Amino acid sequence: MNLKAAITGIHGYVPEDVVTNADLEKIVETNDEWITSRTGIKERRILKGEGKGTSVMAAEAVKGLLEKTNTDPKDIDLVIVATVTPDYMFPSTANLVCTQVGIPSICSFDILAACSGFIYALVTGAQFIESGRFKKVIVVGADKMSSIIDYTDRTTCVLFGDGAGAVLLEPTTENEGIIDFMLHSDGTGENHLIMKGGGSKYPASHETIDKHYHYIHQEGPSVFKFAVTNMADVAAAIMDKNNLTSDDIRWLVPHQANKRIIDATANRMGVGEDKIMVNIQKYGNTTAATIPLCLFDYQDQISKGDNLILAAFGGGFTWGSVYVKWAI
């Protein structure tokens, strides 16, 4: 029996507090026109409150998912959380989320693949379903990017926001669900998009704080060039591999980093604006949360049997695409 992993539920969560481009104009030398024309971002959500980490948002997304799918927390076999902003180095954010939502002592772990994290986690979760080992797997993409942003650096502080999205994977014998994937990485991109401090190479010290090592460092032009090429290439490649034309695709679900990168990917695939999921204007780049938040925002516009191409690019470098046939 050939099992596939179908997405049978989707839920998202973003914090209430909104930071607009006008708000950022008061902090750094920038303006709405500059931000909008280069990124497509108008506002982003920020998680405020002392002691609130990524697990708070991830747990809200999972709670909503369990309620929406009428799933008992005790029936979940595995939880995977993709994040670059875990509550702690350890224990994992997935462990914390399980406890917060009442999921008992099951297997749970984090995956770190930067902005490609959700598709890496989705593909990983699917393997447990396809093997027949597990029947209900939750995959979460969640990041509190505001916790690692230098709000004096106008090149990065305008880009990122906070949020979380979660999907439920279940087995199906139908020709639907996660049909195919392509995942890649290239460590030569190390210094182009990185947070240097806090790991074993540069543990926290007065020096690492003074050097701003605990914030995102991004070499914008290099990252943009690599992202435009590789995200577009991998989206087109998975279409070619599965003999899909632009007419066969209902939705491109791209990582929301920059509207120009999204448009380049769509152009390479030959799909028009009416087939692109975009919410970057509302949330900015929420890193691992962008793709599930798109699915959540557009869920009423997706029909059973629709062909979706998920595509992402992130630090590492990491990039990839997933071909999904919608099952709900």
The pLDDT score that the predictor gives to residue 188 is: 97
The pLDDT of residue 152 is: 95
Mean residue pLDDT across the chain = 98
Residue 49 is which amino acid?
G
pLDDT band at 1 (very low <50, low <70, confident <90, very high): confident
Above 80 in pLDDT, residue 158?
yes
**pLDDT given for residue 30 in this prediction:** 95
Q: What is the dihedral of CA 47, 10, 82, 259, to 10 degrees?
A: -70
Tell me the H-state helices in the chain.
Answer: 21-25, 32-39, 54-68, 93-101, 117-130, 154-157, 206-210, 220-241, 259-269, 280-283, 290-297
Ordered structural domains, the chain, with CATH:
4-175 (3.40.47.10), 179-325 (3.40.47.10)
Looking at residue 217, its pLDDT comes to 97
Length of the chain as a residue count: 328
- Structure confidence at residue 12 as a pLDDT band (50, 70, 90): very high
Average pLDDT over residues 243-256: 98
| Rounded-to-integer distance, Cα 108 and Cα 3, Å | 22
Give pLDDT tens digits for 190-233. 999 999 999 999 999 999 999 999 999 999 999 999 999 999 99
Find, among 83, 42, 84, 7, the residue nearest to 251 by Cα: 7
Q: What is the pLDDT of residue 9?
A: 98
pTM: 0.98
Give the pLDDT confidence of 54-78 residue by residue, as tens digits. Answer: 999 999 999 999 999 999 999 999 9
Smallest CA-to-CA distance from 135 within 3, 32, 267 is with 3
- Whether pLDDT at 327 is above 80: yes
Structure tokens, 15: 């914090």
Helix, strand, coil percentages (3-state) for the chain, rounded to 5, are: 40, 25, 35
Active-site annotation, residues: 115, 255, 285
Q: What's the Cα-to-Cα distance from 328 to each of 9, 45, 253, rounded to whole Å?
A: 8, 29, 17
Contacts of 154 (CB under 8 A, 6+ apart): 24, 28, 29, 30
Is residue 94 scored above 90 in pLDDT? yes
